Amino acid sequence: MNIIAISGSLRKDSYNTALLRGMQLLVPAGMQIEIATISTLPLYDSDTEATFPATAQELKNKIAAADGIIISTPEYNRSIPGVLKNAIDWLSRPYGKNSFAKKPVLVAGVSGGKIGTAVAQSHLRQILLHLDADIIGQPELYLGPASEIFDEEGNIADDSTKELLTKALTVLADRIK
Ligand SMILES: Cc1cc2nc3c(=O)[nH]c(=O)nc-3n(C[C@H](O)[C@H](O)[C@H](O)COP(=O)(O)O)c2cc1C
């Protein structure tokens, strides 16, 4: 099972990217997770869709070849970051070639506070529902505060978080099967 993971944060020390790196170490047998980059995507512009940007096409190709998707997102102003929405908009195009259709998608998020990106993930689930993704309903991964999850090197140090993520990855594997 090949999984493409997308972090909604571009920053180097992102908790959400660190979460995806941690998940790479918790996969069930037969699963591998590749973390894709969205930082090279141009801002979506329908004028450039006819000559689809190479970076966007490359990401679409990776997802087309993948068995499932994981998205870990920060919460920005009670929604998802613009960079993540931009990536989703590219991946939904061209019309009729939506990359999310029928794909199993596991949604996660880490925040500095206790709310754990719940509002952002709720928005993300609405978008993914519209895109006909096969969204994993449970477990929900509203993770925070980040200071209680990661050590200083950005490794997942909390056992209950590791257990929850292991369970979520198993659910994703079962959904793919
Ligand atoms: C523009 C902006 C808006 C934010 N809005 C929220 C918010 O609505 N809720 C929240 O819990 N945190 C909010 N935060 C804090 C982020 O959750 C925090 O920066 C988090 O570490 C970002 O994720 P990352 O570590 O993966 O980059 C916001 C941060 C920024 C930069």
Q: Tell me the per-residue pLDDT of 113-152, one tens digit each, with 9 for 90 and over.
A: 888 899 999 999 999 999 999 999 999 999 999 999 999 9
C-alpha distances in angstroms, 62 versus 49, 65, 80, 93? 18, 5, 22, 15
pLDDT at position 115 is: 87
Type of residue at 128: L
Which residues have any ligand 1 atom within 6 Å of their CB? 9, 11, 14-16, 74-78, 111-113, 115
> How many CB atoms are located within 10 Å of the residue 125 CB?
17
Distance between CA 172 and CA 163 in Å, rounded? 14
- Global pTM exceeds 0.95: yes
CA of 128 to the centre of ligand 1 (A): 21
Nearest Cα to Cα of residue 150 among 142, 159, 141 = 159
Instruction: Give the bridge partners for 6, in sequence order.
Output: 36, 71
CA of 74 to the centre of ligand 1 (A): 6
